Amino acid sequence: MLNSFNNMSFFFLLYINTVRELGKVFKDSIHGHVELHPLLVKIIDTPQFQRLRNIKQLGGGYLVYPGASHNRFEHSLGVAYLAGVLAKTLQENQPELKITVRDILCVQIAGLCHDLGHGPFSHLFDQMFIDQACENEDWTHEKASLEMFRYLVHENNLKPEMKKCGLNIKDDQEDKEDDQENKKDDQEDKKDDQEDKKGEQEDKKDDQEDEEDDLVFIEELLGKPLKENKNVSKADWPYKGRKVEKSFLYEIVSNKLNGIDVDTFDYVARDCHHLGIKNNFDHLRYFKFARVVKVDKDPRKHIGSRDKEIWNLYNMFHSRNLLYREVCHHEVTNVQIMIKDALLKANIHTMFKDKDGHLLTLSAAKDDMEAYTKVTDQVTEKILQSSGEARKDSRMILERIMKRDLYKLVGEAKTIIERLKEQLKDDLTLEELEEIMNGTLEVVVRETQVKKYKLKGKVKDLKQQLKTVLPSGEQKKANDYFEAVPIQEVKDPIEYTYFYDKKNPQRGFTMPRNKVSNFLPECFWEQTIRLYWKKKEETYKDSTIEKFEKWCKDNKFEVTFNSPPNEASTSASASTSASASTSAPATLQYTLACSNQSACSASHLTPLIYLLACLDASPLHYLPSLRSSLCSTLPQCDDSRLDPESTSR
C-alpha cells in the first residue's frame, strides 16, 4: 500500500513538473497574471531581450511625466500575450480557418520580439538622432528588430529549441535537400497519373505544410516581405511564410492596413495607465467580436469587427490621439530635442565594441548587433559621468535638463486646411473633388499625397531660411540656436477598417464616416511645425521668429503661437490693464477678457477705461450696451471677442 502511494506521489510530482514546463507566469500591471510558452521564456532570458529593460517606452517623456517609467521590456511581454489571446480566440470561434498551434506560437514570438531594434529612448533614436547623424540613410527600428532577432537566435542557439517545440525550421542545407526531394516527387507524380484525386489532394496538402518555414514566417511578421518583387502587383501574395489563405495572421501583431493590432492595444492601455490618462477602449471586448472576414474583390482575408463596435474602436483612436498630443507632441518635447542634441555632440566620442573588437561610434553601432546590444538609455549616464573636453558640450546639455533649464518654444504653426484642399485638387478624382465641395469628404489623403506633402522636406527648407538670420560665421552652428520640429497626424483609420453584421458574419465591409455620425472630427490629418530657441542669449531670437512667421505665410501655414518679441511692451500692456481695473466703479467690478490680444493694444484700451469710468453702480442691465460700446472701439470687431464679466465686491 505504501509503495503504491509512493508511486502515485512520484507520478503526481512528475505531472506537476510537466505542467510547469508548459509555461511561466508573469504578473503584469495591465493584463494581470500572464502565462507564456517555454520557448518565449528562453527568448526572454537572453542578453539581447533583457536589453529592453533599459529602454524607456516613451523616451524622454519620463523627464516630463514622472509616471512614464515603464520600459520596452514589459510592453513586449504584453504584446506577446495579447497576440496569443487574439489568435486563440479566432481559432476557437472559426475552426474553418485551420489555425494551428504553430501559427499561434509564431505570432506570439513575433509579438515578443517586435521591438528588439529600438535604440536609446525609443523613437527619439531612430526618428530624431539617426535622422540627423546619418542623413539620408534608410534605417528603421523595424529593420533593426529583424536583425536583432536573427542575431538572438544564432547567438543563443535557439533553432534546436524551436524544433523541439514543433516549429518547422529549415537551414540552407535542408532547403537544398528539400528541393531535390521535391523534384523527385514531381517526377513520381507525373508517372502516377492514374492515382485517384483524393490521394493527390493529400499530397498537395503535405507539400504545402513542408513549404511553410516558421522562421521565415516570424521574420515576415517582424517586417516586410523578405523578398519583395517590384513587378508583383498588389493583388499577388508577396509572403513566403504562410499562404494567402492565412493572410489575416499578418494583421495580429502589426496591422499595416489600419493600425488596429495588439501592439496598439497594449501600448495604449499601458501608456494611459502609467500617465494617469483614462482609456475608454476595451480590447477584451474587441476580442469577443473579432472575426476573419472576406472582402469583395480582395483575395486576402482580413480581421474585422462587429458593426456596432465602431465606437469602441473610435475610443481607441481617441485614446491614442490623446497620447500623441499630450505626451509625444507635448510642448515640453524640447526635452527630447535636448537629449538628441546631447547624443549628436557625443556621437563620435562614445564608442561600443563590435563582434570583432573594433570600436564603433554611437550612430554606427546600430549596424552591428553585438555593439547595438550595449546601446541603451544608459548612454546618457555614461556621458554625464565622463570627464574631459571631448564630451563637455554634451554634458552641459544634459546638466541643463537636470536643472530644468529647457529650450524655449517660440513659435508654432498649423496647416490651413482650406488651402491644403486647394493643393490636393490636382491629385483628386472628379468624384472625390465633388465630395469635398459638398462637404461630405473633408480631406482625402492617399499614400502618394502623404509623401508629396510630407513635412520633412518643408522643415528642411524652413531651417535653411532661418539660417540666413544668423551671421555667416554662425550659420554652420545653426543647430545650436534653434530647432524646427515637424508633427504630422494620421488619416482617419476607420476608413480602412472592415466590419461585419449579425446577418452575414462572413462578409466584410467598410463604413463611411457620414453613416456613423455627424459629430465625428472633420479632419484627421494635421500638420504642425514648432520652433524652439536653444541659446540662453537671445540676440537673434526676434529676427528668427519674424523669419519663421514670414515663411509660414508663404507656405500656407497659420501661426498659432509665437513668443512676444518685446517683453517691455508686454509689461506695459499688463500695467495698462491693471490701471483699467482700478478705474472701475467701487461697487461693481468689470473684468475684460479679449480673445484677440493683438487687437487689444494700449491705444484701444484708453476709451475702454473711459467707458468703465462713466458707468454708475446700476445693476447688470448695462452689460449688453457695454459690450456694444466696447466693440465699437476696436477695428473689425465682433461681439464674441469681448466678454465683460461682472462680479460683486
The residues that are catalytic are 141
With 0-12 / 13-18 / 19 or more C-beta atoms within 10 angstroms meaning exposed / middle / buried, residue 439 is exposed
DSSP state letter for 631:
H
Number of H helices, E strands in the chain: 28, 14
With 0-12 / 13-18 / 19 or more C-beta atoms within 10 angstroms meaning exposed / middle / buried, residue 40 is buried
Beta bridge mates, 294: 301, 507
**What is the grid cell recorded at 554?**
508663404
Beta strands in 236-319 (DSSP E): 291-295, 298-306
What's CA 313's distance to the chain center, in Å? 17
Considering Cα of 94, then 99, then 105, then 108, what sign does the dihedral take? negative
- CA angle 415–421–425, rounded 5-degree value: 140
Residues 548-553: contacts with CB within 8 Å, 24+ apart?
548/410, 548/411, 548/413, 548/462, 548/466, 549/411, 551/461, 551/462, 551/465, 551/466, 552/413
- CA angle 495–500–504, rounded 5-degree value: 150
Q: For residues 349 and 362, give the distance between their C-alpha atoms in angstroms, rounded to a whole number.
A: 8
Contact 481, 540 (CB under 8 A): yes
The bridge status of strand 507-508 relative to strand 291-295 is parallel
DSSP 513-548: HHHH-TTS-S-S--EEEEEEE--SS-TTHHHHHHHH
Q: For residues 482 and 466, give the distance between their C-alpha atoms in angstroms, rounded to a whole number.
A: 9
**What is the grid cell recorded at 12?**
503526481
Q: For residues 483 and 329, give the distance between their C-alpha atoms in angstroms, rounded to a whole number.
A: 15
